[in-house]
Structure 1
Amino acid sequence: MGLTEKEAEERLRTEGENTIGGERKSGPLRIFLGQFRDIMVMILLGATVISVFLGEISDAVTIILIVLLNAVLGFIQEYRTEHTLEALRSMTSPTAKCWRDGKLREIAASRLVKGDIIELEAGDRIPADCTVLRAAGFFSDESVLTGESVAVAKSAGAEDDTDNSLNKPNIVYFGASAVKGSCRGKVIATGMDTQMGKISGMLTDIGREQTPLQKRLAELGKAVAIICLIVCAAVFGAGVLRGENVFDMLMTGITIAIAAIPEGLPATVTIALALAVSRMMKQKVLVNKLHSVETLGCTSVICSDKTGTITENKMTVTELSTADDDFFFSGMGYRVSGAVTKGEDTAVNPLAERALTEALRCGVVCSTAEISTQETPKSRNRGSLAGRGEWSVTGDPTEAALLIAAAKAGITKSSVSEKCRTLGEFPFDSETRFMAVHCSFGSEKRMYFKGAEEILLPRCSQYMNGRGEKVPMTAAFRRRLEEKAAEMSDRALRVLALAMCVSDDLAPYRGSLVFLGLAGMTDPPREEAKAAIRRCATASVKTVMITGDHKNTAVAVAKKAGLLKGGMAITGEELNMLSDEELDRDIGKYTVFARVEPVHKLRIVRSFKRRGEIVTMTGDGVNDAPAVKEADVGVAMGVTGTDVTKQAADVILMDDNLATLVSAVEQGRCVYANIRKFVRYLLSCNIGEVLTMFLGIVMGMPIVLLPVQILLVNLVTDGLPAIALGMERPESDIMSRPPRRSDEGFFAGGLMWRIVIRGIFIGLSTLASFTTVMHLGSSAEACRTAALITLVVSQLIHVFECRSESRSLFSMNPFGNMKLVGAVLVSGAVLAAAVLVPQMQVIFSTAAPSMAELFIALGFSAAVPLVSSVISR
C-alpha cells in the first residue's frame, strides 16, 4: 500500500518539499533604511545639517529625534507585515501518518509527495490536499479556507480524482482540521499546488501601497521643498541687490527657509495617529499599521464577511413546526432569556403541547453538546426563560441550538435524563445524514432520530398530533410537510427533522417512524450590525457581503441585515463568466457575493479599487488573507481570526463586530480632519513668519525677528497647540458627509487659499506692529518684542479658528477642547516669561513692553481674526 521510499524520494526531488510561503523579502536593516526615503524626511535631514552648521544644536537635536521616532514606528509596522507568510507556513502539520513500503509510518509532513497514502483521525491537521479513499464519520473544519464554521462531512470518491477545487465532499484540504471520525486519503497536491499554497502565492504577489495620507504628505513635502528653495533664493537675491554681504544673505536665506519648514508636522501627525489608536483600542479596535487609521476615514466600500461579523455565528432555533402547529422561539444567539409562542405572539405552555414537548425531548436526547450558565435562569412562567448573559456552549453549534430551544420550554438535559436513559447511539454520518439514539423511557424502549428532512420524512408512517396521539401519515399530509420544509429552506433556515419509534434494540435503518417536527434554525444578524449598515448608508459608504455560503442563505441574511436594498446577488461561478472590464462596469450593482473562493475575493477588492474606491475588507480565515492584504484597509477578526489574517491585516476587531468597524471609520475621518486642521495651522503660522522676515528685508527695515526669537515662536506655537488640535473631537455631522475621493488633494476645498490668506494676515499684522512701535521712537528690542507678541498671540488665536473648516471662530464654543485651552495657556505663559523675566530677556533679546506697546501688539493680533471673519462672510 502506498509508495516505496525510493519512489517517494524521486518524486520529492522533482516536486519539491511540501511547504508553502517564501522567505522574507527584506532584512531588518533594509526596512529601517527605507524609512528615510520620504521627501519630508529628506528635507528635515537637510535642515539638521544646516542647523548644525549655523550652530543651532538644539534645533538639530529636535529634528533628529522627530525623524528617528517616525523611522522606528514605520520600521515596526513594516517588519511586522513580513511575518504573514511565516504564520501561514506555521499552519503546516509537522508530521503525517503515511504508508511507505507497505507500513504505516510517521514522517515529516514536508516530505509528503503526490501518490502518498495517509491516515487521518480527529484532532489531526491535514498535511496536504488529498482525495478521500475511505471515511468513517469523518468531518473536516475548513473554516480557514472557506470561512464557514460548520464542519464539513467527507465521503469517499473516485481514487483518480485529482481536482482539488474547494467545497468538494471527497477532497480534504491542507491546513484544515479533522474534527470527527477517521479517514484514509491519497495525496493529490502538495506545497504551492494546494489550495493553501495558492493563497500563499496570492499573498506573495500583493505589494504594499502608500496610504492616501502618506501620498498627501508626500505631496506636501514636495510643496514645502519648492517653497524653501524659492524663499532662500528670493531673500538671497533681495539682499544682494541691496548691497548686503553675499555670505550673510545666504545664511539669512537658509535661516528663513528653515523657518518655513514645519518640522513639527511629522511628529504631530504621528502623535495624532497614536492618540487615535489609543482611543480606538478602548473601542476594541487594535491597529497594526498607524497610517491605516486615517485610511479608514476615506473608506467608500466595506467588504464584510457574513459569519460572525454581520451575523452572530451562533446557530439559533427560531421555529419548530409540528404536524398541527407552528411554534416560534424568541431570544437570539446564546442569550439565556427567551420564550416560546404559538404562532407569532400567542403565549403557550409547552408542557401542554405534547407534540412540541416530544420534539424538543428528541432534540435533547440526540445531542452530545452541553450548555451551562453561571446563574441559574428563572422561568417567569412555563414557556418563558429569564436570565442575564449567555449560555456557555461546548460541542456542535446545531445541537447546542436545540438544547437552548428546549431550555426555553423548560426541558433540560438533566430533566430528560431522569426519565430517559441512553442505551446506544448511531452517530451522524455524511452518507446516512441522520443520528439515532436508543434509550429506555420508563418501561418502554424508544429510538429518537434527528437528521435531514429528505432522509427521515419518507421513513415516517405516522405523525404525532397536538394531543400526543399517533396518526397515520397520508400522502397528502406528507406533501404538506415537504412543502413546509421547502418553505423554511427558502427563508434560509437550516431544517432538521425530528422523529421517534418504539424499538427494543438499536435499529437505525428501521422504518415506520413517528414524525415529531421540523426544527428551523439560523445564524441571526447582529442587531448592532443592522444599525452599523444604516450608519454606513448615511455616510455614503457602500457595504457589501462576501461569503462562501449558498446564495439563498446569503440573500436572506442580507435582507434581514438591511443590505440588499436595491442591490443584487452574484455567485463566484457567475463571477467567473465576467471579464474584468464587465466586472468593473457592473460591480456597483451587487451587494451580496455568495459561494466565493479566495481568488474571487481578491478579484472583487481589485475591481472596486480600479473604480477609484477606497476598500476596507474584513476577514477571519486564511482564505480571506489575500483580499485583506490587497485592500486599502485590511481588517481581521480578533476572536475568530487566524494568525495569518491578523498579520496580513492593518486593523483587528477585538469583538468581531461590524459596528465597531464603523466607529473606527468615524475615528479615521476625525483623524484626517484633525490633520488638515493642524496642517492649516502650522503652514499659516510658518507663512506668517517667513513673510514677516522676507518683507522686512525687501522693505529695507531692520531685522524684524532674530533667529533665536523665530526659534521661540516655533517652540511656543508649533508644539502643544498643534498636538492639542489633533485631539479635537469628531464634529457632529462627520458621518453624514460622503467619504473623500481617493484622488482628492490634501488642500481640497479651498484649504490652501485659507492657509495663504491667513499667513499673509499674520505676517502683515506682525510688520504693522513692528513699524508702529518703531514710529513711537522705541528701541529695536521693544519693536521686536511687540512683533514677537503679535506673531505669537495671533497664531494662538488662529489655533481656535482651525478647530473647524465650516464654522467661524465666533460660532464655536471656545471651551469645546479643554486640552487646546490648556496648551494655549502654557504657550502664553512661556511668551510672558520670555518678555517679562529679566534672565529670559537676555536670552531672547526682548524688553518689557510699555502699556502702549502691549496695546498695539495685542490690538494687531486681535485685528487678524476680525478681518478674516469679515472676509470669510
Structure 2
Amino acid sequence: MSDCEVAVGSEEPAESPRQNGHHAMSSHEVVLLLETDPRRGLSTDEAARRLERYGPNLLPAAGGGGFLRRALRQFHNPLIYVLMAAAVITAFLHEYVDASVIFGVVLVNAVVGYVQESKAEAALDSLRSMVRTEARVVRAGQERMIASEELVPGDLIVLEAGDKVPADLRLVRLAELRVDESALTGESVPVTKDEAELPEVTAVSDRRNMVYSGTLVTAGSGAGIAVATGTETELGQIHRLVGAADNLATPLTSKLAWFSKVLTVAILVLAAMTFGVGVLRGQDATETFTAAIALAVGAIPEGLPAAVTVTLAIGVTRMARRRAVIRRLPAIETLGSTTVICSDKTGTLTENQMTVRVLWTPDGEFSVTGSGYRPDGEICGPSGAMADEATSESLRWTLLAGAGCNDARVREENGEWFITGDPTEGAMLVVAGKGGIDRDRLDNTLPRTATIPFSSERQYMATLHREPDSGREIVLAKGSVEQIVAMCRTEMSGDGTTRPLDAEAALRCAEALSSQGLRVLATAVRRDGESGDFNEDHLPGTLTLTGLQAMLDPPRSAAAPAVRACHDAGIGVKMITGDHVATATAIATHLAILGDDQQGRVLTGRDLQTLPAERFPETVDRATVFARVSPEQKLRLVETLQRRGHVVAVTGDGVNDAPALRQANIGIAMARSGTEVAKDAADMVLTDDDFATIEAAVEEGRGVFDNLIKFIVWTLPTNLGEGLVIFVAIVLGATLPLLPTQILWINMTTAVLLGLMLAFEPKESGIMRRPPRDPRRPLLTGALVARIALVAALLVAGAWLLFEWEQRRGAGVAEARTAALNLFVVVEMLYLFSCRSLVHSAWRIGFFTNRWVLGGVLLQAVAQLAITYLPAMNSIFDTAPIGGDVWLRIFAVGAAAAAVVALDKRLRRNLV
C-alpha cells in the first residue's frame, strides 16, 4: 500500500510538506491526501476544525525571555564583575563620585546590550509579518477574502498577479503563472510554474508545481491546495533556522572575556598576597586590608569599557561615511578579523538588473554597453562602431520584436530606474531604447491587436500588430532559441531580405553564449504578405528569424577591484547563490573569485547533498562557488567554515539568507534590495548594496582593532604598576608612595584625557596588505606582554626612586607622593606617543597626524598642575606643591623610561 493510500484512509491529513513531498505527487493524490475538493475547497466547518487542530497560519513570536531575565543577562560577563567589584571597593573607600561613575559605565553597557539583543529578535518578527496578508480562498464552493492567519492545510487558494502567496501550495490549475521566488531561493528571474509532478529529490528552487509562502505572483493566475501553513512552510523552516542560529561572540568580546577572567584572578591573587604578607609582617590588619583594596583599585582598568565603546563608536561613524550602517558595535571590529567572506550573488556582486550584453543577427554580432535598467549605453558593431536601428534591418527587427512583444514597463523614480514586469522583458526594452526605439512611440505606430501569451509549454510569446495607415499586419515573437528557430523557415539579412534559415548557426551561437552564463532569447517576425492565421496552430513555419538577445545580471563595476583587495588582504571570497551554476560560474570567473583552476571549486546543492561527511569540511573550505543551494545548506556551509577556525562574514538580501546572516560572525545585508528579514538578522547594512563597501569596512575594522590593542597596551602598565607599588610597599613595610584616591585620579583622568585619544588614531599604512588576525591568536602577543611588564617595572622603579629621593632631600610625605603621582602621569604621556604605533616609532608616524593626542596631553598637563598647586585639590587628594627642580627630576626619569621603551620596540618589532 502506498503512502498516499494510507494517508487517505487515516483520520487526519499529514502535517509536514517535507515528510510527504507533495511536489512528487500528482495534484489528484494531493487532493486525496489532504481530504479536500479541487473545485469547492473545504467546508466551513471542516476549516474551523483544522484551524483549531493546526493553529493559525502564523510564525511564532520570538521567545527571548521576560524583561528581568533579559536585563540580568547583560551583567553576566567577567569584565562587568570586575567593574562592579571596583565600584563597591571605591564606595568602601568613600569615593562616592568615582563609584557612581563606574556604576554608570556598568549600567550604560547593560542598556546597550539589552537594546541590541531586542533588535536581534526583530528578524523573527519580520519573518512573521511576511505571511500576514489577505488571501482569496474557496470554501464550500464560494470564493471569499479572508485573513491569511485563518488558512489551513487543504484550503483551495486562488492566485492572481500581484498577490503574495499566503501558504505553501501544490498547484492544481494555472494560466501562464510566474512567481518571483528570489527572496526565498535566490533565483534572479521569476519562475514559470506548471502542474507536472517532479522527482522526490527535486530542490525547492526547482519545484515548478509548488508556490511558497512569502513569494510574489508576477504574472498569470492559478489555484493551489495549501499543503503547509505556519511553521510547517518553507518560510517556517527558515524561521526555525534563524531562531536556532547561535549568537556568536566576536573575536573582540571572546578575547576580552578571557582577558577579564585572567585579570580578575590576577588582581584577587595579588590583593590576597598583599594582605597576607602585611599580616605576617605584623602590620595592622585594617591598614593592610585598606592597602590591599587600594591595590585592587589600582589594578582594575576602569577606563577599558569606555575605551572599547568609544573606539567602536568612532569606527561606526567612519563606516557611516563610507556607506555602511553598523547595527551592533562589535561588528565593526569583527570585520577586521574576517578570514572568509561568503557573498550572495544577486544584488550584492551583481546589479540585480538584467542587461542585454550581446545581440546576434544572421549577418553579425553586436555588443551592448551600459548596465542595468538605466537607458545609458550604446550598441556597437563588429568593428566597434556605434550601431542603431538604421544600421541593419535584422538588428532593427530584433530590437522591435523585443520591445513590441513585451509586457514590461521601465520607469524612473528620483534618478533610479525600475521595471514593472519580467526582468528579461525589461532588459529588452532598455536595449531597444539604446538602439533608438522608444516603447511609447512604438505603441502608437505599431499598436498591438492580439496576443499569444508565454507559457512553459509553448516557450514563446507572440503579438499581432497593425499599422494604422496601411493596415499591414505584423507578427512579433520572442522565446527560447530552440522553439523560435523551430517555428522559422527563413532568416533576415542586414538589408531586410529573407533567405533560407541556417538553424545550425543560430543554435551554435546560442550555445556559445549560454556557456558564458548568459540567458539567450530568440526573436522573429512575420510581415505582411507572409500567409498564416494568428494562432498557435498556424504560426509555426511562417516566421523569419531576426536574431538573438543574450543577457545577464551584470557584475557591479566596483566588485572586481574589491575582490582583488580582499585577496590581497588574505581574505577568501566565496559565492553562495541559489542561481544556476552556469550563471554563478560566469560571474565568479569575471570577478576573479574563480581562477583558471576550477576543478573542485564549483559545487551545487546536489553535490553538497551527496558529499560524504568526512570529506565535507575540506571540500567546502577549498571550493569558492556554491550554486543552487538551499537556506539549510548555506547555514551548514557557514557553520562548517567556523568550525575550521574561520571568522566568517556573510552577505545577503533575501529571506533565504537570514539564517546564515544570523549564524555568521558578522552578517551584512543590503539596504536597497534587501528584505526587512535580512536587514534585521544582519549586524551591518550596506546603504549602496555594493560589495566594494565591504572592503572599506574590513579596513575600518582592522583600524578599530589596532586602536583597541593600542589602548590596552597603553593602560595596563599603569594599572599593573600601581598595584605593584602598593605590593612592594607592603612587602618592605614602607610608606605607600601613592594613596588610593591618588590612584583613582590617575586612572580616571588619564583614561579619558590620554587613552581615549587613541580611538581617533588614523589607520596605519599597509593595513590592507597584511593577513587577517589569526582567530586563535591571543589578544596580546608575547612581545606586547613583555612590553607591558617592562613599562610597569619602569613605573614602579621610577616612582620608588623618586619617592625615596624626595624624602631623603627633606621633602614631606605629601610632596614625595605628589612627585610619584606626577611621574606616573608623565611616563604615561610619553608612552602614549609610543603606543600610537605598536611597531613604528613616533617620529615615523608623525606627531601631528593625531591632533586629539596633543589636545589630550595639554588638558592632562593642566589637570596635573591643578592637583599639584590648587589648595582645594591638595586637601582632597593629599598632594602638595613641588618646586621646579622636582619637575626636572620627574621629566628626566620619564625620558629615561621612554628611551628604554623605544629600544625595546626596535628590538621586538618583528615579534608584535
Same fold, TM exceeding 0.5?
yes
Contact 1:19-1:89 within 8 A present in 2 as well: yes
CA distance in 2, matches of 1:352, 1:22: 61
Q: CA-to-partner distance for each residue in 1:492-511, whole Å, 9 max, x for gaps?
A: 11111111102597435513
Task: Quote the residue 1:186 is aligned against.
Answer: 225
CA distance in 1, matches of 2:86, 2:413: 64
Contact 1:48-1:60 within 8 A present in 2 as well: yes
Contact 1:122-1:181 within 8 A present in 2 as well: yes
Letter in 2 for 1:466: G
Q: CA-to-partner distance for each residue in 1:28-69, whole Å, 9 max, x for gaps?
A: 221111111111111221222222222110111011000001
Task: Quote the residue 1:359 is aligned against.
Answer: 398
Contact 2:288-2:730 within 8 A present in 1 as well: no
For 2:463, what is the secondary structure of its paired residue? Answer: strand
The structure 1 residue matched to 2:438, chosen from 408, 412, 421, is 412
CA distance in 2, matches of 1:349, 1:174: 44
Percent of pairs identical after alignment? Answer: 38
Cα 1:644–1:65 shift into 2, 3 Å: same
The structure 2 residue matched to 1:533, chosen from 538, 559, 563, is 563
The structure 2 residue matched to 1:562, chosen from 592, 603, 609, is 592
Task: Quote the residue 1:865 is aligned against.
Answer: 898
Task: Quote the residue 2:696 is aligned against.
Answer: 663
Contact 1:31-1:79 within 8 A present in 2 as well: no
Pairing of 1:236-275 with structure 2 (within 5 A): 236-275=275-314
Moved over 6 A (4+): 159-164
Contact 2:787-2:904 within 8 A present in 1 as well: no
Task: Quote the residue 2:517 is aligned against.
Answer: 492
Q: CA-to-partner distance for each residue in 1:418-475, whole Å, 9 max, x for gaps?
A: 53233233333333222222222352210111211111111111111011112222xx
Cα 1:556–1:166 shift into 2, 3 Å: closer
Task: Quote the residue 1:235 is aligned against.
Answer: 274
The structure 1 residue matched to 2:842, chosen from 806, 809, 818, is 809
Cα 1:535–1:160 shift into 2, 3 Å: closer
Q: Please say if 1:594 is aligned against 2:645.
A: no
Pairing of 1:80-229 with structure 2 (within 5 A): 80-158=119-197, 165-229=204-268
Contact 2:787-2:901 within 8 A present in 1 as well: no
Letter in 2 for 1:841: N
Cα 1:160–1:21 shift into 2, 3 Å: farther
Cα 1:174–1:393 shift into 2, 3 Å: closer
CA distance in 2, matches of 1:870, 1:356: 74
**TM-score, structure 2 length as denominator?**
0.90
CA distance in 1, matches of 2:697, 2:251: 17
Report the RMSD for the aligned CA atoms in angstroms: 2.2
For 1:587, what is the secondary structure of its paired residue? Answer: helix
Pairing of 1:16-35 with structure 2 (within 5 A): 16-35=55-74
For 1:115, what is the secondary structure of its paired residue? Answer: coil
Task: Quote the residue 1:403 is aligned against.
Answer: 429
Q: Please say if 1:67 is aligned against 2:95.
A: no
Contact 2:205-2:578 within 8 A present in 1 as well: no
Task: Quote the residue 1:630 is aligned against.
Answer: 663
CA distance in 2, matches of 1:153, 1:797: 70
Q: Please say if 1:456 is aligned against 2:481.
A: no
CA distance in 2, matches of 1:760, 1:237: 22
Q: CA-to-partner distance for each residue in 1:344-376, whole Å, 9 max, x for gaps?
A: 62444641322112211222212333345699x
Task: Quote the residue 1:739 is aligned against.
Answer: 772
Contact 1:133-1:157 within 8 A present in 2 as well: no
The structure 2 residue matched to 1:766, chosen from 792, 799, 808, is 799
Task: Quote the residue 2:25 is aligned against.
Answer: none
> Unpaired segments of 5 or more residues in structure 1?
376-388
Contact 1:96-1:107 within 8 A present in 2 as well: yes
The structure 2 residue matched to 1:751, chosen from 784, 799, 802, is 784
CA distance in 2, matches of 1:41, 1:272: 18
CA distance in 2, matches of 1:217, 1:433: 60
Deviation at 1:694, TM superposition (A): 2.6
Deviation at 1:83, TM superposition (A): 2.6
CA distance in 1, matches of 2:127, 2:388: 53
Task: Quote the residue 2:889 is aligned against.
Answer: 856
The structure 1 residue matched to 2:712, chosen from 675, 679, 684, is 679
Contact 1:44-1:263 within 8 A present in 2 as well: yes
Contact 2:95-2:741 within 8 A present in 1 as well: no
Pairing of 1:320-469 with structure 2 (within 5 A): 320-343=359-382, 345-348=384-387, 350-371=389-410, 391=417, 393-441=419-467, 442-443=469-470, 444-469=472-497
For 1:351, what is the secondary structure of its paired residue? Answer: coil
Contact 1:166-1:195 within 8 A present in 2 as well: no
Deviation at 1:571, TM superposition (A): 0.3
Q: Please say if 1:843 is aligned against 2:876.
A: yes
Task: Quote the residue 1:517 is aligned against.
Answer: 547
**More displaced 10-residue stretch of structure 1: 160-169 or 362-371:** 160-169
Q: Please say if 1:822 is aligned against 2:855.
A: yes
Deviation at 1:327, TM superposition (A): 0.8
Contact 2:370-2:378 within 8 A present in 1 as well: yes
Contact 1:164-1:194 within 8 A present in 2 as well: no
Contact 2:650-2:666 within 8 A present in 1 as well: yes
Deviation at 1:162, TM superposition (A): 12
Letter in 1 for 2:351: E
CA distance in 2, matches of 1:335, 1:104: 42
Q: CA-to-partner distance for each residue in 1:482-533, whole Å, 9 max, x for gaps?
A: 1111111111111111111025974355131011110111111112111111
Q: Please say if 1:49 is aligned against 2:88.
A: yes
Contact 1:446-1:501 within 8 A present in 2 as well: yes
**More displaced 10-residue stretch of structure 1: 414-423 or 831-840:** 414-423
Deviation at 1:164, TM superposition (A): 8.7
For 1:489, what is the secondary structure of its paired residue? Answer: helix
Task: Quote the residue 1:386 is aligned against.
Answer: none
CA distance in 2, matches of 1:698, 1:775: 21
For 2:555, what is the secondary structure of its paired residue? Answer: coil
CA distance in 1, matches of 2:413, 2:677: 34
CA distance in 2, matches of 1:663, 1:297: 10
Deviation at 1:801, TM superposition (A): 1.1
Letter in 2 for 1:489: S
> Unpaired segments of 5 or more residues in structure 2?
1-39, 908-912
For 2:401, what is the secondary structure of its paired residue? Answer: helix
CA distance in 2, matches of 1:39, 1:591: 39
CA distance in 2, matches of 1:311, 1:177: 22
Cα 1:407–1:94 shift into 2, 3 Å: closer
Task: Quote the residue 1:384 is aligned against.
Answer: none
Q: CA-to-partner distance for each residue in 1:195-227, whole Å, 9 max, x for gaps?
A: 112112222322323222111111111122122
**TM-score, structure 1 length as denominator?**
0.94
Letter in 2 for 1:72: V
CA distance in 1, matches of 2:843, 2:551: 58
Cα 1:596–1:758 shift into 2, 3 Å: same
Cα 1:100–1:374 shift into 2, 3 Å: closer
Cα 1:391–1:184 shift into 2, 3 Å: closer
For 1:719, what is the secondary structure of its paired residue? Answer: helix
CA distance in 2, matches of 1:586, 1:322: 43
Q: CA-to-partner distance for each residue in 1:599-648, whole Å, 9 max, x for gaps?
A: 11011111111111111111111111111111111111111111222211
